[in-house]
Amino acid sequence: MVTFKIERFNPDVDKAPYFQTYEVAAGKEMSVLEALFYVVENLDGSLAFRYSCRGAVCGSCAMRINGKNRLACQTLLKKLKSPVITVSPLPHLPIVKDLIVDMDHFFKNYEKIKPYLVNNTSAPEKERRQSILERAKIDEMIACILCGACFSACTVAATDKKFIGPAALTKAYRFWADSRDNLGDERLALVAGEHGALRCHTLFNCAEACPKNIVPTYSIQQLKGGLVKCRFSKPAK
């Protein structure tokens, strides 16, 4: 038996979040997500959480487990090495219910950076050529699953509600650095200003939280460098 302390909150009835304790009959290879299903099926049908792929690619089940933002599906109980497992929703995001948080703000930020390839030249009949090296530049960033673990772990995003946040900035870099994209300085303008890339304090909380081992700070630093170069290479608009 493993003890689970799970944060519960239903804004329709509860005044404040509280913890509830469940005893889960845990198998050796059980993940936190499976343990949550055990609770729903056997102990408490009212527990709510998001799930989909259970293979760490869809980004649904990011939550705070033993004090760290992780994917519930990817976190095996045996790796936590802890007799009591504490599970709460991603911090700094509004709770919808129990372990489900409102991701609207996260996706609004994502939408701000024009998260799509822009190339104003007419499309060739076949593919746009891209060298292996050019493609390698964005290899790390395209692994992002938009789970929100980094955004929730970022203390700057927690205090500065206008900060675009690490995931959107990583996405911004992914397109800016893509040799096929020609939005160029206009992309930088989207992440400029006090609440863009320059707001990052390089705390690396995002990198520590990322379940896909991405280092958003790297992308953000690249954007900062780009912004400075852009500041001196071109007259202000």
> Residues 96, 99, 100, 105: is their CA dihedral positive or negative?
positive
Give the list of residues 6+ apart from residue 175 with CB closer than 8 angstroms, or none: 113, 114, 115, 116, 117, 118, 181, 183, 187
What's the CA gap between 39 and 30, in Å, rounded?
13
In the complex, least distance from residue 113 CB atom to other proteins, rounded to whole angstroms: 10
105 binds other proteins (CB under 8 A): no
192 binds other proteins (CB under 8 A): yes
Are 167 and 69 spatial neighbours (Cβ–Cβ below 8 Å)? no
Give residues 24-83 in contact with other proteins (rule: CB under 8 A): 29, 40-42, 44-60, 74, 76
In the complex, least distance from residue 77 CB atom to other proteins, rounded to whole angstroms: 13
228 binds other proteins (CB under 8 A): yes
Residue 136 CB-half CA count within 13 A? 3
Amino acid at 186: E
* Strand pairing class (62-65; 68-71): antiparallel
227 binds other proteins (CB under 8 A): yes
Site string for other proteins, 152-171 (x = CB under 8 A): ----x--xxxxx--------
In the complex, least distance from residue 203 CB atom to other proteins, rounded to whole angstroms: 11
For other proteins, give the closer residue by CB, 67 or 194.
Answer: 194
Q: Which of 130, 204, 207, 208 binds other proteins (CB under 8 A)?
A: 130
What's the CA gap between 11 and 212, in Å, rounded?
32
Q: Which of 67, 120, 123, 233 binds other proteins (CB under 8 A)?
A: 123
224 binds other proteins (CB under 8 A): yes
Nearest to 148 by CA among 113, 193, 87, 107: 107
Stretch near other proteins under the rule CB under 8 A, chosen from 15-23, 85-93, 95-103, 202-210:
95-103
Burial class of residue 233, CB neighbours in 10 A (0-12, 13-18, 19+): exposed
For other proteins, give the closer residue by CB, 11 or 82.
Answer: 11
For other proteins, give the closer residue by CB, 91 or 115.
Answer: 115
In the complex, least distance from residue 40 CB atom to other proteins, rounded to whole angstroms: 5
Stretch near other proteins under the rule CB under 8 A, chosen from 15-23, 83-91, 126-134, 202-210:
126-134
Are 4 and 24 spatial neighbours (Cβ–Cβ below 8 Å)? yes
129 binds other proteins (CB under 8 A): yes
In the complex, least distance from residue 155 CB atom to other proteins, rounded to whole angstroms: 8
How many amino acids of this chain bind other proteins (CB under 8 A)? 80
What's the CA gap between 89 and 68, in Å, rounded?
11
